[in-house]
Structure 1
Amino acid sequence: MLSGLLKFILGFFLALAVLIGSGVAVALYFMNRTAIPPAKPIFANDSPSLQTKSPKATDTESSPTSSKEPTPSPSATPSASPTESPTELPPGAYRGRVTWSQGLSLRSEPNQDAERIGGVGFNEKIIVLEESQDKAWQKIRVEGSKQEGWVKVGNTQRDDE
């Protein structure tokens, strides 16, 4: 009888320890998952040192910023491309503006899980190049640069210029 009582008490405390331990493990898992901050979007007006975190953004900007002498000429080149682009838009493309107040993240492919390759600020001028087949995404080019990417439909507005 004493051995049965001892087994019962030991089993009770062991079960209690397993329940408490698993509860603490699950709580720690969810607290750690919610403590991870999302990646910061990169916008066109950010300083170049912040844009070096994204490999795609540095590819488009590494060659102009790598040399100190060509810095004036690349800044002249983007101002020249907007003057060329108003007259020559690709077929089916149109001008627009970003209407989402926090700006948009440019994605490499037309889906939510695709890599972020840059960003576009609120009210910034863009050129809408095409739409995805499911009509949920738009491929845009930031006016004044050669940066292209995909954004969700409904966050841009057509410009009537």
Structure 2
Amino acid sequence: MAQVYTIAANGQRDIWIQAEMVRLGLARVMPWPGEYADIAALYALEAEAREKGRGIWSDPFYAPRSPDPNALAQFVDSVQIVEGIITSVADVRGQIYLNFGADYRTDFTVAIAKKNVKRFTAGNIDPLALEGAKVRVRGWVELINGPMIWLNQPERLEILS
């Protein structure tokens, strides 16, 4: 991933292209491991574009999904933004599961592999303390029991309340 800027006449950085695309609603934010962009700034620009219905945000197809497993199952094998309340959390042999319903075998779940948990704690996020939190997650939806997103980095998890 590269961060691209236009250069002003004085040779200084002028416009951050990624930020401008997000601000105009021409792109969604999707952090990648090792990317050092200002994710908080990009999320703020995306929220503004979504609120104002700019670009892709004027089309309901791009709206954040609810964690309803039946509706979300229609978007398996695609990148989605899902927003909801974590109803329970579980640590199974070091792997963390954030459940969005009463039945982990059918409801939407976010999983954090054991090898990635340290990234969250290093970023001051304790996944086991998120029960009851309203969150927004981004990632590839798979069908493992119910719909599931594997989070490999904390930047793909926004804690809303």
TM-score range, shorter chain: under 0.3
Larger Rg: 1
Q: Hey, which of these two has a bigger chunk of strand by percent?
A: 2
TM-score, with length taken from structure 2: 0.28
Q: Hey, which of these two has a bigger chunk of helix by percent?
A: 1
